[in-house]
Amino acid sequence: MGRYYHCPHCDKVLNPGTKVVLVIDHKGERELILLSPDLGDYTVVYPLSFEPELGRKYIFRCPVCQTDLTSSINDNLVELEAETDDGRSEKVGFSRVYGERATFVGSGPEHVTLYGDHATRYDSPNFFGETRIRDEE
């Protein structure tokens, strides 16, 4: 099933082609990055001039309106809007920590699906209410 990702602020399409286009920001340095639109695929294309650091938290911005896409529900997540091929609206969140594979897709509080090896680090991910990160043991 295909998804069309949108900025939750300006509603512009973020995957006009085969990749999701975002801006990554670290200490004022900005670069375009391309992400796979497929849930659970953590392939990232970034310029050779950018060297991401494992475990570092980055700010993701809309390439159109430049708004910070950090989720208001959980500071470790980026939050996007999505529409499926069959017209369903969803919220999609993914970790903004480089190397953490965690993605969440929800259409309501009781309908959140987890993807990625690290998704279980999050207790009850819910874009429609409070989300907490479970402490590492």
With beta carbons less than 8 A apart as the criterion, state whether 93 and 77 touch: yes
Residue 79 CA: distances (Å) to CA of 49, 89, 93? 26, 13, 4
Mean pLDDT of 25-50: 91
Asked whether the predicted pLDDT for residue 136 surpasses 70, the reply is no
DSSP one-letter code for 121: G
- How many domains, the chain? 1
Those residues with Cβ within 8 angstroms of residue 97's Cβ, 6 or more apart along the chain or in another chain: 55, 56, 57, 58, 76
Q: Which domain holds residue 106?
A: 3-133
Q: How many residues does the chain have?
A: 137
Q: Higher pLDDT residue, 113 or 16?
A: 16
